[in-house]
Amino acid sequence: MANFDILFFDLDGTLLAPDHATISPRNLAALAAARQAGVQLSFATGRCLGLIEGIARQQPFDYAVTSNGAAVYDLKENTQLFHHAFSPEDARLACQIIDRQADFFELFVNGEILLTEKAHGMTATRTLPPWHKRYFWRKSLPPIGSIAQFFDQGAQGLEKINLVECDPALVARIREALEALGLFEVTSSIGSGALEVSPKGCSKGRSIRWLCAQKGIDIARAAAFGDGSNDMEMLRTVGCGVAMGNAGEAVKAAADRVTAPHDRDGVAQFIEQYVL
């Protein structure tokens, strides 16, 4: 019998190769072996649902915890199990602070990305990762004229506000203003030029605990893999939190074990040694 019943995986810097788009052959083989042994697999990512579809096609997964815990999906049944959106009031406060200072930011709404027309026009020239740009070329919600229009339409389904490829000093100012209100979860998974803003009380760890309780899975028999600050609570929540070798020291300190870096198949190494 396998040593765990379910495994949760962050994507960027954890399960994925350095291209942020593919799962390495060794990691794919380890995932398949775990699933063959009866272990369930779940994404646990800051990405919204629309940003994981290509990854999910590479290897069948059972569940997806997305937008830093704002949504949980059963991928086998293609159904949403849980949704934790901003209240319209809190969404307005956060967006006003960000919109006053940043030209480009993303709204994660009901599993997809919503941009203003101004931001959408910038996607071709911004230094976004190729996989991120492909999303905007392939699909996205129709852009809106302004943030005010989003609130005029009711601001429903806002899961996360995402700043990427921004000036670190600008990000620091926005983070300070948001944290001073005490109304949001503010984290980052990809460096000082990015920021992730979620509803208060929303996290990967809390949604994982909810999912395990709903499915009758002992949280002590769950393991999770991550590398960023938005993974720390998740690593503390499960029975075995696994930090990647490329994670920062604070993330490693929050984990029970440290595996090899993501570009050396750290996920596969842990599964081969401790799961199967």
Rounded Cα–Cα distance for residues 36 and 77 (Å): 19
In a domain? residue 139: yes
Rounded Cα–Cα distance for residues 209 and 211 (Å): 6
In a domain? residue 165: yes
Average pLDDT, the chain: 93
Q: What is the pLDDT of residues 88-137, one digit of tens each?
A: 999 999 999 999 999 889 999 999 999 999 888 888 777 777 777 778 87
Rounded Cα–Cα distance for residues 149 and 105 (Å): 15
Neighbours of 10 (CB within 10 A): 29
**Are residue 15 and residue 33 in the same domain, yes or no?**
yes
Q: Work out how many domains the chain is built from and give that number.
A: 2
Answer whether residue 138 shows pLDDT above 90.
no
Residue 207 structural domain: 6-84+202-275
Q: What is the pLDDT of residues 44-80, one digit of tens each?
A: 999 999 999 889 999 999 999 999 999 999 999 999 9
Identity of the residue numbered 74: D
**Are residue 93 and residue 181 in the same domain, yes or no?**
yes
Answer whether residue 24 shows pLDDT above 80.
yes
**Are residue 134 and residue 63 in the same domain, yes or no?**
no
In a domain? residue 1: no
The pTM (predicted TM-score) of the whole model is 0.94
How much is the pLDDT for 139? 66
CATH number at residue 256: 3.40.50.1000
Angle between helices 88-99 and 168-181 (to 10 degrees): 150
Strand 240-243 and strand 257-258: the pairing is parallel
How much is the pLDDT for 191? 66
**Are residue 72 and residue 93 in the same domain, yes or no?**
no
**Are residue 240 and residue 217 in the same domain, yes or no?**
yes
User: What mean pLDDT comes out for the span 138-166?
Assistant: 87
CATH number at residue 101: 3.30.1240.10
Q: Which residue among 145, 176, 199 closes a domain?
A: 199
**Are residue 61 and residue 99 in the same domain, yes or no?**
no
Q: What is the pLDDT of residues 167-203, one digit of tens each?
A: 899 999 999 999 999 999 998 766 668 899 999 999 9
Q: Which residue among 199, 214, 243 closes a domain?
A: 199
**Are residue 63 and residue 164 in the same domain, yes or no?**
no
Do 48 and 67 touch, CB atoms closer than 8 A? yes
**Are residue 195 and residue 206 in the same domain, yes or no?**
no
**Are residue 107 and residue 189 in the same domain, yes or no?**
yes
